[in-house]
Structures are given as structure tokens and as C-alpha cells.
């Protein structure tokens, strides 16, 4: 199956700093990547849809100036959490859609656990 990587897997930072998370599709090209956030015992919540070469589409309630998304190539999307605060502590997961497969199946990266002190 398709492989998606994420880096870093875990990050601890001080309040007010910015954190960048990378999502890569390793063996396929992904015109669309998705960023999710999951709080403990909660569902995955879609934050934004990242389209290669164009602006990301943010879900309602997600601040686009706080969560900056860049999808510069067909294999890389980045999420930057700017001026992180403790309430941003969460499990951030990206996924990439393998369009060539024709089923719109999304494959998930291993996730990044962010802890803001």
C-alpha cells in the first residue's frame, strides 16, 4: 500500500513558539493532502485540505493564520502551528489521497504528537 511519512513524530515546545510538521507521500504523488487533529478519545477532525500549487481549504472554525499550510510539491505538504499555546496540544495526522487508485482512499501518516508547555 501507499506510504505516508510525517516528521517529527513528537515535539514538545514552549508556548508562543512555532512548530512545523512535514507530511510526505513516499511512493506516490498526492495532489491532495489532508490535515487532521485528534484529541484524546475523540474522532479525527479535519482541519484543512491541502492542494498542490494552490491555497489550502480550511474547515469552519480553523484559523488559517494560525495553522499555515503549504503544499509545494506533489509529495510534500507542511503544517505550521504558529504561536502555539497549550490548547493546541494534540495529535496531528496528515493523509494523502492516491488519486491514481481511483477510489479516493486516504492513507495516513504516523502522526505528530504536539505538546505545548
Partner 1 sequence: GQNIDQPTEMTATEGAIVQINCTYQTSGFNGLFWYQQHAGEAPTFLSYNVLDGLEEKGRFSSFLSRSKGYSYLLLKELQMKDSASYLCAAYGNNRLAFGKGNQVVVIP
Kindly list the residues in this chain that would bind partner 1 in the complex (CB under 8 A): 1, 6, 34, 41-46, 49, 93, 103-111, 113
CB of 34 or CB of 81, closer to partner 1 = 34
Please say whether the beta carbons of 10 and 112 come within 8 A.
Answer: yes
Closest distance of CB 11 from partner 1, Å: 15
Shortest distance in whole angstroms from residue 102 CB to partner 1: 11
Cβ closest to partner 1, residue 44 vs residue 82 = 44
Q: How far is the CB of 88 from partner 1 (least distance, A)?
A: 18
Nearer to partner 1, 8 or 110 (CB): 110
User: Among residues 38 and 82, whose Cβ is nearest to partner 1?
Assistant: 38
Taking the complex as a whole, how short is the minimal distance between the CB of residue 73 and partner 1, in angstroms? 21
* Beta-strand pair 45-51/106-108: unpaired
Evaluate whether 15 touches 115 at the Cβ level (below 8 Å): no
Amino acid at each position: 500500500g501507499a506510504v505516508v511519512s510525517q516528521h517529527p513524530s513528537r515535539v514538545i515546545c514552549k508556548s508562543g513558539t512555532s512548530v512545523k510538521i512535514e507530511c510526505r507521500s513516499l511512493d506516490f504523488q498526492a495532489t491532495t493532502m489532508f490535515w487532521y487533529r485528534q484529541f484524546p478519545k475523540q474522532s479525527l477532525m479535519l482541519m484543512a485540505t491541502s492542494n498542490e500549487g494552490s491555497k489550502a481549504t480550511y474547515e469552519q472554525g480553523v484559523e488559517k493564520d494560525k495553522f499555515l499550510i503549504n503544499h509545494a510539491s506533489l509529495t510534500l505538504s507542511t503544517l505550521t502551528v504558529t504561536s502555539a499555546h497549550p490548547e493546541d496540544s494534540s495529535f496531528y495526522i496528515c493523509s494523502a489521497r492516491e488519486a491514481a487508485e481511483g477510489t479516493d482512499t486516504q492513507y495516513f501518516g504516523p502522526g505528530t504528537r504536539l505538546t505545548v508547555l
